[in-house]
A = this chain, B = another copy of it.
Amino acid sequence: MKTKVAKKKPALSKAKADYQHLFDLSKHIHVLQGISSILSWDQETHMPQGGAEIRGLQLKTLAGLIHKERTSKAFGAALQKLIDLKTGKTPQKGLTTSQNAALREWRRDYIHDTAIPQKFVEEFAQLTSQSLLVWRHAKNENAFDLFAPYLERIVDMCRRKADYLGYNDHPYDALLNMYEPDMTTRQVSTLFSALLKGLKPLLKKIASSKQVDDRFLFGTWDTDKQIAFSHRLLAAMGYDMDKGRLDFSSHPFSSASHPTDSRITTRIHPTSLMSNISVILHEAGHALYEMGLPQDLYGSPLGESRSLGVHESQSRWWETRIGLTKPFWSYFLPFLKETFKGKLDGISLHDFYRAINKVEPSYIRVEADELTYPLHVILRFELEKALIEGSLSIHEVPEAWNAKMTEYLGITPSTNREGCLQDIHWSMGGIGYFPTYTLGNIFAAHLFEAFAGKHPDWETRIASGEYLFIKSWLHENIYQYGRHYSSHELLKKATGKPFSADAYTYYLKKKYTEIYTK
């Protein structure tokens, strides 16, 4: 008996020591990634223009160091000791369920990172850096032909990338999984078809209804007052200014180098009241997720956000599910009126609520309203999938784009600049990314049902200025888990049921039918 115990103990502590060693290697990589985040944040917010070139070299140097460490033999060997890289089996005993979950994610990342040859990575980086410039020029000139040969090469390399990464069913699976692990093209198609089916008749009904007047949201809105109001929103949400800050950039973003340093930026439009408000709620939704990740697990996958779709669910949650509701504005409209004294006199809560939820099909995705936004995403997903499987050729893109716009939104772009050249993503090689925008909304809607079930009085509470219980619920159900569970498991755990597009479609239908027919 004694011998047995003596034998077992070292085995246990070996697993722990091996785990700690792997954790240390991984933490070093995360620290470098955090440094890179700060440099990127500075680049968009404060860096003097002239510093662009050296900043490029600094970021490239860091990217090189990070890639080297992530794919190093030392890292692979440390990982292989704890989890079989081929089978995913964990040979050592004595680790917790969480630690085994972390190993699963580390293995996933390592396989992903080492699947693509270094030469391919460099070639792809070179192509996309050229494509970005060409796309900018092509968009300015409204000349798809200029961009087409680059898009052709990008699609071709993305197909090769999919081959390197591997997939069971569809090459697009591999690309999608870079941003949304454990989600298949087939699943996304099913979700999006259901959504489309629900939205098309609703949009038709709205088009023939009495239109909403939102003119009072435009005009002149003092910048300082917009900023002051932003801080009021951030405070209500529980965004901790000791661990974050608000700056300005031409494209708003959130950037976290650690749960204790999670920053956001906004862009102030002096002629549009809601632009900055939406951005603040959206970016702070992202930032709260990062702030809520477990600090003691920083450096391991358990200290990282789950996926782009889950991240987007957090931003859209605050931007739409909270920020576009009547009880929210029942509390905040008086403060808004107080901030912009005299500017909103005579605007009722009802008027305001309808105005901020105005539906109007438009060409540009990033300016789309809540209801038409997913249609933009579905269109792009369908084109990407067709490009990758080869059922659509590059020169057919503009026409296919316009046909889908006409079919889904009832409007047809008159230029490619307003059509297939509008987004930056393809030029950056980000095929597979778009679906996560709408997955975020689907996840958020699914989660929101569980939240409302747990807090049936949520509307009364937010109408009276109580907001922190929202962050608590998200912390308990999302933030604290990092990458412990897959998205599917995470949502199932939070809600008790497998997710579908139903909650999202139901919510949109109910909300917009009410606005436009009552």
Contact = CB atoms under 8 A, between A and B. Distances in A.
B46 A32 contact: no
Contact of A244 (B39, B48, B247, B261): B48
Contact of A42 (B38, B57, B244): B38
Interface stretch (A235-243, A415-423, A482-490): A235-243
Nearest to A61: B31
B39 A54 contact: no
A35 interface: yes
A258 interface: yes
A245 B58 contact: no
A91 interface: no
A46 B298 CA distance: 22
A51 interface: yes
Contact of A54 (B34, B42, B58): B34
A517 to B, nearest CB: 47
Contacts of A47: 261
A261 B48 contact: yes
Contacts of A54: 31, 34, 257-258, 260-261, 298
Nearest to A57: B31
Contacts of A62: 35
Taking the full assembly, how many copies of this chain does it contain? 2
B242 A49 contact: yes
Q: Is the interface of A mostly helix, strand, loop or mixed?
A: helix
A257 B243 CA distance: 25
Contacts of A122: none
Interface string A46-78: 111111011101100110010000000000000
Contact of A48 (B35, B48, B55, B243): B243
Interface residues of A, number: 35
Question: Could you say which of A34, A42, A243, A261 has the most chain B C-beta atoms within 10 Å of its C-beta?
Answer: A261
A35 B46 contact: no
Nearest to A32: B61
B58 A31 contact: yes
A54 B30 CA distance: 11
Contact of A51 (B50, B51, B58, B258): B258
A260 B51 contact: yes
A51 to B, nearest CB: 3
A508 B35 CA distance: 47
B35 A39 contact: yes
A243 B46 contact: no
Interface string A290-325: 000000001000000000000000000000000000
A214 B94 CA distance: 74
Nearest to A41: B42
A108 interface: no
Contacts of A49: 242
Contacts of A31: 54, 57-58, 61
Given A28-B61, A261-B55, A242 B34 contact: no
Contacts of A38: 38-39, 42, 58
Among A31, A38, A263, the one with the most B-chain Cβ atoms within 10 Å of its Cβ is: A38
27 contacts: A31-B57, A31-B58, A31-B61, A34-B58, A35-B35, A35-B39, A35-B61, A35-B62, A38-B42, A38-B58, A47-B261, A48-B241, A48-B242, A48-B245, A48-B260, A48-B263, A49-B242, A50-B242, A50-B260, A51-B243, A51-B257, A51-B261, A54-B258, A54-B261, A54-B298, A55-B261, A65-B65
Given A42-B42, A50-B260, A65-B65, 5 more contacts: A48-B242, A48-B244, A50-B243, A55-B261, A58-B257
State the 3 A-B residue pairs at the shortest beta-carbon distance, nearest first: A51-B261, A50-B243, A54-B258
